[in-house]
Amino acid sequence: MKIISCHIENFGKLSDFTMDFVSGKRNTICKENGWGKSTLAAFIKVMLYGFDNEGKRDDYENERKRFKPWQGGAYGGQLVFEADGKKYEASRIFGVKEKDDIFVLKDLESGLLSREYSERLGEDLFGLDSKSFSRSIFVSQDACETSVTDGISAKLGNLTDSTDDINNYEKSIIRLNDILNSMSPRRKTGEISKQKDHITELKQIISQGKNIEASLDNLIELSKNEKSCIEELKGERKVWSKRQQELSKYKDFEIKRKEYERISKDCLEKKEEYDRELMFFKNGIPDIKELNDKLEKAYVLSEKKSAIRIFELSGEEEEKLDSINLAIEDNRKSIERENKELLLLKENAQKENEKTEIINNASFEEKDNAKAPDKNYGRLVIINIIYLIIGIGCMLLVLNLKRVNSLPVAIMAIGLLVIIVELFINIYNYINTKDKKKNVKKSSNKMISYISNDEKDKEAFEVKIKEKESKIKELERFQEQNVYIRDNLTEKKKNYNSGIKEYNEIFDEVKSFIIKCGFEPNEDMYRQLDVLEEKTRDIDELRKAYEKISKEKELFEINNDIRLIENTNDMASDYSLSEIDSNLRQIDQSMEEHNKNLAGYTRQIDELEEKLEYINECENELDNLSELYENNKQKYKILETTKELLEEARAAFTAKYTAPIKTGFDKYYNMITRDEDNSYKLDANINLSKKELGLDRETRFLSMGYKDLIGVCMRMALVDAMYEKEKPFIIFDDSFVNLDREKLLAGLDLLDKIAKEYQIIYFTCHESRV
Amino acid sequence: MKIIHCADLHLDSKMTANLDSKKARERKIELLNTFNEMVKYAACNDIKAIIIAGDMFDKKTVSKTAANTVYQAFTDNPDISFYYLKGNHDEDTFIESLINKPDNLKTFEENWTCYRTGEKNNIVITGAVLTKDNKDRLFNELVLNNDDFNIVTLHGQESAAGTKDKTVVIPIRDLRNKGIDYLALGHIHSYKEAELDKRGVYCYSGCLEGRGFDECGEHGFVVIDIDEDNKTCKREFIPIAKRRLYVINVDVSGLNNSANMISRIKNVLDEKRLSKESMVKIVLSGEVDAFCEKDVDFIFKQFEDKYYFTKLYDETKLKVSYEDFRLDESLKGEFVRIVLAKTDISDEDKAMIIRYGINLLTDDEI
């Protein structure tokens, strides 16, 4: 691959700059400091690979910023090159960011846009990434040293097309190292180390488990003991409580026994007293009602005695009673006679009245008959109207019937006949009524003359009757006065007689009662009965009192076990109530103590349980963690082995190219130094070392001049090995600045020699190095 | 008469082996709920007795919640008798903590204890807590009336294999021809029934809930339906577990990327039709190319929320084709050849080294 020319629109300080390059001889660009040699070299690299360090903030490190055109304008340019015998023009216009960049590739033969190479032009052309490019064919100022990159290795192994092999080795190793570091059992921060620490910690916690379990067993045992003590104490308490109950029962029974004794005694006393009092009545206790009745009657006797005396008739009163009785009889007879006479008078007067009335009635009747209308008159009018209606109706019916036959004619005839009959009846009635009225008027006038004669006889009778009635009334008034007197005296006498009789009856009754009660009646029976009544009441009271106490005793016997009560001595305790109380208190205190201990143990058990729970969780965590730890350890071991074997593989892989590279190195080294120094060694990883004073020393310890020299030789050896067919251009940016004169000349001579095979672009700032 | 036989409830189990603390707490509650569900089943199905053949609790200290739940279940169901046999995980703590032992709670001691029950009073439940001290004499001391329907309950390993802790072996042979109709056992966490002798069977009911992926499959209890006249019984296993655990092996041999593997896993899981409430362990197996793209974390993420709990184990073997690199003139070829040539590295490690090395060079995840 060769660069034919380049044109810079604007890049760094270079603007509108064009340069052509030749092949077969060294292209030397010798310009003073500040001309822009490194900028031009960088332009070529950027045209192939784009900018490096785009992410850097530093304006120098960030190439896009570093080479931003000083004078402004379009940022970019063109590079004309030849590859595989064809010429292309690559144009790039750079924006602010990579995405703004424009890349155009033109096939110069056809003049058309080409897709032969992508915008990753350098990689496509050289099979190298930017880093490998800089380590091989781009020899920048002060950076001649080189080392084999993955890209170079891939190129060496023809694996540039494979992205996941040797070219990814370094990255893989870095990644593997990161993994190993993150897992490292030796680093504090390593996962395995941390897991190990945690396992130790968990084991430490778990190791306490046995002690905790032992403590727990101990506590459970203590707890059991406490429980059994409590149970024992409960048993004891039960015994003492029973004793207490029995003693209390005994005490209760004692009280009851005394109570029963009192009741029994009382009952007996009451019975004796009652029986004693009963002896008073030989014939039994009288009925209190009867007794009271008799007592009342006895009381009535004295009252009655004085009351009877009031009704007793004196001699004068006896005589008066006899005479009044006679007078009354006489008077009665007179009244009877007078009444008979009066009755006769009244009968005669009655006869006269009746006669007069008959005459009056006859005259009035005549008058009434004359005046009164005929009762049949109204009835006749109604009949007449009915006849008339029937007659007219029959005629109308006939007129309405259009057909003339025998039936309507008959009906019309009946109607006319009815009207005619009715007219005759009316005429007859009128004539008859007029004659009757004339006869009545005549007889009435005759009657009125008879009535005026009888009125005089009637007044005479009425005077006689009134006189008789007055006399009878006088006699009756007299009779009433006598009867009243007689009745009073008779009543008084009657009362007296009945009072005497009643008194005697009551007296006998009371007397008999007293005798019946077994006593001899004395003069004051009332007093005697009063005593009996009092006695009876006393006995009744005694009976009631006895009955009450008997009932009480009976109830007591029902409600209580008399056998037990009567034998309370059997229940007597050996301990007093205070002794029992004291024992119970002691037991309660002891139980409280044990309960307190039990609660404490239970709490401790709970706490230890929680700890055991935590330990159990730790055990589970330990199990999981141990498994994970072992897996990680195994993985770590395998990854370590993987790393070793990857390194070994890489060494084996690159070893195949070590010999040709070493040969190439020796060749170029000899060309510059003109010395066949065999002290340089190239290891499998293509690291160069120099044997000095018996030890292999890294080339970084050599002088700057030798480092540059070795670097150039190494790069050439690598380029030889990498590009066996089409040779690339090689850029040397003042690479011999640290060489001494002799080596400088040899170096320049080398450039001229290799310029026949490679296109060499050599930048220098001094004529002495041209 | 119907009787439930259950065992290995392991109430108060930590459940933290696979689960995070939140889910572990949930599962702990679910254990209690499942116990309650079993009791509810008994109450609704005319079950007269529940035999708990050991390991009702997981540890010596019992949480108040668990103790109260169990106590409440006992007292709420006075018509059901609970025959509780202590297991190797049980201590006396629960029984001792009871202020008033319910009348329907029947326990067993280190000597044979018999309880007679049934309408005809001819069902005898006999049990003993098996210890190292009594194991040599206990079986000789077992005397049963052949006229009864005899249920014997014990907690222990049926054979000598795999015993640890306080677990004692139950010599099944020594219990033959003793007149046992049903030997209700506890300790093994999966259901198993086998012939004891001509007369009876022995049965491990398994646990009520699987707790880890070593306890996959159905879990529940056994209902023994006894005909008291004929002295025969029917037995039915009733699954009751809230969740079921599964280990799903997915062979991803020949697949060379995560997407294909996800698809294969999905197909396998779809075929299984697992409930969303399941706990699933997916195990990738088979042989895959060492250079295949396989991101286990990415694969796991696709199934993480598919079930109540999911975990993914990668047990695939890496395969390296030497022929592909024999003549490969590249760093990779060089690397593979060097690795394969190492004699001090196992094949598995070689595959891993090659996978790591290649992934490093190709910028892939390692």
* Same domain for B357 and B262: no
Backbone angles phi, psi at A524, to 5 degrees: -95, 80
| Beta strands in A325-437, from DSSP E residues, in sequence order | none
Res B160 pLDDT > 70: no
Question: What's the gap in Å between the CA of B360 and the closest CA on chain A?
Answer: 5
**Best interface-test mutation with A: which of B57, B361, B363, B365 has the largest number of A CBs within 10 A?**
B361
- The structure tokens listed for A244 are 């207490």
* Same domain for B259 and B123: no
Interface membership of B363 toward A (CB under 8 Å): yes
Which pLDDT band, with edges at 50, 70 and 90, does B163 fall under? Answer: very low
Res B84 pLDDT > 60: yes
Whose tokens are 């070795």? That residue is A710
Least confident of A435-444, A475-484, B130-139: A435-444
CB A49 within 8 A of CB A133: yes
Whose tokens are 């709490």? That residue is A603
Question: Tell me, what's the pLDDT at B322?
Answer: 74
Residues 6 or more apart whose Cβ sits within 8 Å of residue A340: none
Q: Report how far residue B337's alpha carbon sits from residue B38's, in angstroms, rounded to the nearest whole number.
A: 63
Q: Report how far residue B50's alpha carbon sits from residue B184's, in angstroms, rounded to the nearest whole number.
A: 11
Flag if B335 and A649 touch (Cβ within 8 Å): yes
Least confident of A418-422, B75-79, B302-306, B307-311: A418-422
Q: Report how far residue A651's alpha carbon sits from residue A645's, in angstroms, rounded to the nearest whole number.
A: 10
* Same domain for B79 and B38: yes
Surface-to-core class of residue B298, CB atoms within 10 Å of its CB (0-12 exposed, 13-18 middle, 19+ buried): middle
Beta bridge partners of B5: B51, B222
CATH of the domain at B233: 3.60.21.10
Surface-to-core class of residue A384, CB atoms within 10 Å of its CB (0-12 exposed, 13-18 middle, 19+ buried): middle
CB B224 within 8 A of CB B3: yes
Mean of per-residue pLDDT scores for chain A: 84
Number of domains in chain B: 3
The alpha carbon torsion through B50, B56, B61, B62 (nearest 10 deg) reads -50
Q: Provide mean pLDDT across the span A613-620.
A: 83
> Could you say which residues from 85 to 114 on chain B have a Cβ atom under 8 Å away from some Cβ of chain A?
91, 93, 96
Res B162 pLDDT > 50: no
**Residue in B with minimal Cα distance to A180:** B366
* Same domain for B311 and B327: no
CB B331 within 8 A of CB A649: yes
Which residues span the domain enclosing B228? 2-239
* Same domain for B47 and B140: yes
* Same domain for B164 and B263: no
Q: Report how far residue A601's alpha carbon sits from residue A608's, in angstroms, rounded to the nearest whole number.
A: 10
pLDDT digits (tens, 9 = 90+) for B111-133: 999 999 999 999 999 999 998 88
Q: Report how far residue A501's alpha carbon sits from residue A498's, in angstroms, rounded to the nearest whole number.
A: 5
Flag if A638 and B352 touch (Cβ within 8 Å): yes
Q: Provide mean pLDDT across the span A224-246.
A: 88
Write the DSSP assignment of A364-382 as a string of letters: HHHHHHHHSPPHHHHHHHH
Q: Report how far residue B211's alpha carbon sits from residue B217's, in angstroms, rounded to the nearest whole number.
A: 11
Residues of B in contact with A166 (CB under 8 A): 330-331
Flag if A164 and B361 touch (Cβ within 8 Å): yes
Q: Report how far residue A393's alpha carbon sits from residue B56's, in angstroms, rounded to the nearest whole number.
A: 127
SS3 A128: coil
Res A419 pLDDT > 80: no
* Same domain for B147 and B16: yes
* Same domain for B353 and B280: no
Q: Report how far residue A175's alpha carbon sits from residue A153's, in angstroms, rounded to the nearest whole number.
A: 19
Least confident of A453-462, A475-484, B256-265: A453-462
pLDDT digits (tens, 9 = 90+) for A563-607: 878 877 776 778 888 888 999 999 999 999 999 998 999 889 888
Residues of B in contact with A157 (CB under 8 A): 329-331
Res B361 pLDDT > 80: yes
Write the DSSP assignment of A650-708 as a string of letters: HHHHHHHHHHHHHHHHHHHHHHHH------EEE-TT--EEEEETTEEEEGGGS-HHHHH
Flag if A168 and B366 touch (Cβ within 8 Å): no
Q: Name the maximum alpha-carbon separation found in chain A.
A: 227
Percent of the residues in chain B that have a pLDDT greater than 70, as a whole number: 97
**Best interface-test mutation with A: which of B14, B64, B334 has the largest number of A CBs within 10 A?**
B334
* Same domain for B169 and B299: no
Other beta carbons within 10 Å of A142: 12
Domain boundary among B211, B239, B267: B239
Domain boundary among B189, B204, B239: B239
Regarding pTM above 0.80, the answer is: no
Res B165 pLDDT > 60: no
Alpha carbons within 13 A on the beta-carbon side of B109: 5
Q: Report how far residue A353's alpha carbon sits from residue B77's, in angstroms, rounded to the nearest whole number.
A: 123
Q: Report how far residue A663's alpha carbon sits from residue B33's, in angstroms, rounded to the nearest whole number.
A: 84
Q: Report how far residue A202's alpha carbon sits from residue A627's, in angstroms, rounded to the nearest whole number.
A: 14
Q: Report how far residue A172's alpha carbon sits from residue A180's, in angstroms, rounded to the nearest whole number.
A: 12
* Same domain for B113 and B23: yes
Q: Provide mean pLDDT across the span B202-213.
A: 94
Domain boundary among B210, B239, B268: B239
pLDDT digits (tens, 9 = 90+) for A112-146: 999 999 988 998 888 888 888 888 888 877 777 77
Query: Residue A711's closest CA among A247, A133, A143, A280?
Result: A143
* Same domain for B290 and B215: no
* Same domain for B49 and B181: yes
SS3 B251: strand
Backbone angles phi, psi at A650, to 5 degrees: -65, -45
The alpha carbon torsion through A688, A694, A700, A701 (nearest 10 deg) reads -170
* Kind and range of the H or E run holding B190: none
CB B42 within 8 A of CB B88: no
Mean of per-residue pLDDT scores for chain B: 90
Res A372 pLDDT > 60: no
Question: Tell me, what's the pLDDT at B154?
Answer: 95
DSSP A287: P
Res A199 pLDDT > 90: yes
Q: Report how far residue A322's alpha carbon sits from residue A315's, in angstroms, rounded to the nearest whole number.
A: 11
Res A363 pLDDT > 70: no
Res A453 pLDDT > 70: no
- Count of A-B CB contacts under 8 Å: 89
Q: Report how far residue A658's alpha carbon sits from residue A681's, in angstroms, rounded to the nearest whole number.
A: 10
Among candidates A157, A613, A648 on the partner chain, residue whose Cβ is nearest the Cβ of B338? A648
Percent of the residues in chain B that have a pLDDT greater than 90, as a whole number: 66
Q: Show the CA angle centred on residue B291, arms to residues B285 and B292, nearest 5°.
A: 50
Question: What's the gap in Å between the CA of B140 and the closest CA on chain A?
Answer: 33
